Chain A
Amino acid sequence: MTRVLKTVWLWLDDRIGISVLLKPARHLAPQDAKWWYVFGSATLTAFMVQVVTGVALAFSYIPSSSQAYETLVFITNNAPFGSFLRALHYFGASAMVLMIGAHMAQTFLFGAYKFPREMTWSTGILLLAFTLVMGFTGQLLRWDQTAAWSVVVASEQAGRIPLVGDWVARFILGGTTIGGATLSRFFAIHVFLLPAMMFAFIGLHLWLVFRHGISEPPVAGKPVNPETYRAEYDELLKKSGKPFWPDLAWRDVIVATAMIVAIGLAAYFIGPPVLDKPPDPSVLQADPRPDWYLLWYFALLALTPARIEGYVMILMPILIGLLLFMIPVLNHKGERSATRRPWAIAVALLSVIMIGSLWWEGQRSPWSPNFQALPLSESVVGTTTGPIFTGARLFHDKGCLNCHLVQGFGGRRGPDLTYIGDKLSRDNLVLRIVNGGHNMPAYGSSLKPAELDALAAFLEARKRSLDQEQHTAENGTRR
């Protein structure tokens, strides 16, 4: 039996050349390339997970504005393993974004973008951009209410591009408004155009890895000199290089396997992203939010001052992309070790802190009104009669509670008013309510004098002393 199998293998290998195809995998690599070097192959593995799960989803998905949502409901609720498959695709995308981020950070900190690997880095930056666009277009294919409004937001953003903005917005929408033509173009981009480009650029990226070799871990005091680097690298491989497959690849296999298991576990225990309401633009009770990997950008758009917002929205991504793309051109030789490049550590750390903080704010979205705010309870108001009680009711009914917190209840868009009575006098409170200011609407024309008095009475009573009295009363009742 073994002999038959061997004969078949030798015949196939001779005719097809499988072992020749696998030859690049046996290229020599520096033996010190250890756990830090696994993120690239992990990204590739996540991409393959996306291809497999994406093709499987396409078996049931209909890219039509009128039917896509129904097919998503069917896949999620009726198709065997459909919910699990959607979850795999979602967590696969998340893993890919995380892994490509880690891969980029490691390459940057190790100075691996320097001579002769400049183009390996640049093709990687393009792959990062494709991955993010895939993430965004993938969210749109969910074609629920959030997806539909996200297309509107994307077209509005594109509209800010000088000169051609209106055209780009029309191209995104497939017309002047969201409609029948919108979804199918995103389907074509997500399923055909971008994957084809990604396959091409992954091929080029891998070819460049084979061509220039896996970079050796940096050593402080050993700068890259383009004139001598190649000879030094060849010498290093001759002296201590090991075949990537199988001597060094086992770490990649372990990490890739662990990642697939993690994707599977997350998909099984957490499930797919919840489907929102159908994509009906006439339903205005919507609260569109991007998936987690673009939440930081959502926060950036909310926090940027209005006068520079357009520049941040359009020019900043272009400038960051160009800068990343050009890094190896600007800095292609010299020290690679991060210990000799403190600015590189600072840039990486600042990027993580900035994106992390924006992501955190995006998660909280304190700038968004809290439309679910309920009237304040008696324990918060402190009374059930009189102008303070009436003021508390008005505080809810007039929408103040949508934006202001009182003892932890309400919105976070404006200042916390729990102890506003300690800070502002009654006259100042009335002035603020009537005239607005500091990003607050003026209520002068929409409040009757009696309503204004009641609101001021309620706010004036928001004092620490009142809070303490309530606590004392509550403790007394418990005793």
Chain B
Amino acid sequence: MIGFLFAPFFRKSPEEWVTLGKPNDFEIGKTVAVTVLDPSPLPWAGVTAKNAVWLRRVSEDNFIAFSANCTHLGCPVRWLEGAKLFMCPCHGGVYYDDGAVAAGPPPRPLFQYDVRIENGVVRMKSVVVPISTTL
């Protein structure tokens, strides 16, 4: 029973390359929210199997993907196109367009995923976003 209850401790997270779309689906210079599906969701996960990342097409073949989770306490950050800032609605964390902390309580920059163009599609390495594990 203990093994059953505490199985999540030992469950390995799949690290897979997931497809985000074709390069031309994204305008150069724009930062957009892209939905990413959990590579191996439980059958009853429903909409919770979805996630989102902030993707920016920097140039013709260069993309950056940021985690949408604030590094303070995980709330969803929003991209403000005019301000070129990410802002968190919970405790007021603010990040510059490169993910660096601009203001507020976040201890670290926004997490960046590995992104590459492969076989004509933009792919992102779906990994677990690290959380702060120190006081």
Contact = CB atoms under 8 A, between A and B. Distances in A.
**A, B assembled together:** yes
Interface of A: 64-67, 148-149, 152-153, 155-157, 159-160, 162, 165-167, 169-171, 173-183, 278-288, 298, 301-302, 306, 309-311, 314-315, 367-369, 371, 397-400, 402, 413, 436, 439-442, 446
B35 to A, nearest CB: 4
Interface stretch (B17-25, B40-48, B57-65, B117-125): B40-48
A179 B45 contact: yes
Contact of B131 (A155, A278, A371): A155
Contacts of A165: 131, 133-134
Contacts of A183: 48
B75 A288 contact: yes
A302 B118 CA distance: 42
Contacts of B97: 446
B128 A399 contact: no
12 contacts: A66-B48, A152-B69, A165-B131, A180-B44, A281-B51, A282-B33, A284-B76, A288-B90, A301-B105, A302-B91, A371-B87, A397-B83
Contact of B44 (A65, A166, A280): A65
Contact of A284 (B6, B33, B103, B129): B33
Given A64-B46, A177-B38, A153 B85 contact: no
B73 A301 contact: yes
Given A160-B132, A309-B105, A173 B8 contact: yes
Contacts of A148: 48
B133 A159 contact: yes
A171 B6 contact: yes
Top 4 closest A-B pairs, CB basis?
A66-B46, A180-B42, A399-B83, A310-B135
Contacts of A283: 52
Given A64-B44, A149-B76, A399-B87, A162 B103 contact: no
Given A180-B41, A441-B102, A175 B75 contact: no
B36 interface: yes
B107 interface: yes
Nearest to B48: A65
A157 B102 CA distance: 22
Contacts of A311: 135
Contacts of A179: 38, 41-42, 45, 48-49
A66 B103 contact: no
A368 B84 CA distance: 17
A155 B135 CA distance: 14
B68 interface: yes
B29 interface: no
Given A177-B128, A399-B82, A440-B103, A282 B73 contact: no
Contacts of B133: 159-160, 165-166
Contact of A182 (B48, B69, B73): B48
Contact of B78 (A64, A309, A371): A371
B78 A285 contact: yes
A214 B74 CA distance: 47
A281 B35 CA distance: 9
B75 A153 contact: yes
